């Protein structure tokens, strides 16, 4: 059993030729992670971008921060806020990068996720979720999509399997801040 096509393709080389292969996707609780009710739905001005993940190299938050700066340099009138929900060893470096790029007023570092209810509220309060990971598990992608949010993902691991380009999200190459900026 595999959780996605990427995993099945990668591990198939270790299986016997006629050994059965099945995908049994991991689940999320759709009683909690569900589209918002009308009274929970919001529109935003400025555009609210959400990042959820551990603040490590692998999660690629640096590329989202660079994309925010790039989007602002492309369109000086863009109204854009980014909320970063996570903790990890790169927090100070990411805050310093935001200051260096002069966009620290466009970013909020929210700390770690304390409950499912809290993260669902963050999804509802955002317009788009950006997960610019260099390698990735896909739980956050599924949670955001289940909450009715479009997602920007990198074409790594199984993320792209869940995205229909332009319908429920966008797929970019890893480390491609310019493409993320254009989408924003």
The structure tokens 């310019």 sit at: 178
The DSSP result for 22-44, as a single string, is -B------TTTS-PPPTTT----
Asked if the peptide bond before residue 46 counts as cis, ω within 30 degrees of 0, the response is yes
Full-model pTM: 0.86
* 86 phi/psi in degrees, rounded to 5: 170, 170
Structure-token pair, residue 14:
């270790």
Give the Å distances, CA to CA, from 123 to 12, 30, 65, 105.
Answer: 35, 14, 19, 21
Q: What digits encode the pLDDT tens for the residues 93-130?
A: 999 999 999 999 999 999 999 999 999 999 999 999 99
- Residue 143's pLDDT is 94
pLDDT 10s digits, 118-169: 999 999 999 999 999 998 767 899 999 999 999 999 998 777 888 999 999 9
Q: Collapsing DSSP states into helix, strand and coil, what is residue 14?
A: helix
Contact assessment for residue 133 and residue 111, using Cβ atoms and an 8 Å cutoff: no
Chain length of the chain: 184
- Give mean pLDDT, residues 88-92: 97
Tell whether the model's pLDDT for residue 15 goes beyond 90. Answer: no
């Amino acid at each position: 059993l595999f959780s996605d096509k990427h995993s099945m393709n990668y591990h198939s080389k270790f299986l016997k030729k006629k050994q059965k292969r099945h995908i049994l996707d991991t689940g999320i609780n759709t009683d909690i992670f569900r589209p918002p009710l009308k009274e929970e739905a919001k529109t935003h001005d400025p555009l609210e971008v959400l990042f959820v993940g551990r603040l490590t190299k692998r999660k690629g938050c640096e590329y989202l921060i660079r994309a925010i700066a790039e989007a602002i340099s492309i369109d000086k009138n863009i109204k854009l806020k980014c909320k970063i929900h996570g903790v990890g060893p790169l927090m100070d470096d990411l805050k310093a990068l935001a200051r260096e790029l002069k966009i620290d007023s466009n970013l909020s570092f929210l700390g770690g996720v304390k409950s499912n209810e809290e993260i669902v509220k963050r999804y509802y309060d955002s317009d788009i979720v950006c997960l610019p990971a260099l390698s990735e598990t896909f739980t956050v992608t599924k949670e955001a999509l289940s909450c009715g949010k479009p997602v920007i993902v990198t074409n790594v691991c199984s993320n792209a399997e869940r995205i229909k380009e332009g319908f429920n999200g966008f797929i970019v190459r890893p480390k491609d801040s310019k493409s993320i900026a254009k989408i924003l």
